[in-house]
Amino acid sequence: MLLILSTTLYNVKFSLWMMAQGMLGIFIFMAMFYMLIYALERIFTPKAE
């Protein structure tokens, strides 16, 4: 019983760790995507003369 409980806890901890890594990756990708859109908007906005 103890062996089953310890492997189950290990699986839960590992799955939470993998989920955290995935969410961090998505956050980094979205931040880079936002910065790209902001930079392109700054570069290609027509200047008032």
Residue 48 lies in a domain: no
pTM of the model: 0.69
Q: Is 24 contained in some domain?
A: yes
Q: What is the pLDDT of residues 1-49, one digit of tens each?
A: 667 778 888 999 999 999 999 999 999 999 999 999 999 999 998 887 7
User: Can you give the pLDDT at residue 35?
Assistant: 98
Query: What is the Cβ-side half-sphere exposure of residue 47, based on CA atoms within 13 angstroms?
Result: 2
The secondary structure element, H or E, covering residue 10 is helix 2-44
Answer yes or no: is 49 within a domain: no
Structural domain containing residue 22: 1-43
- pLDDT given for residue 6 in this prediction: 82
Q: How many domains does the chain have?
A: 1
pLDDT for the residue 2: 67
What three-state secondary structure class fits 46?
coil
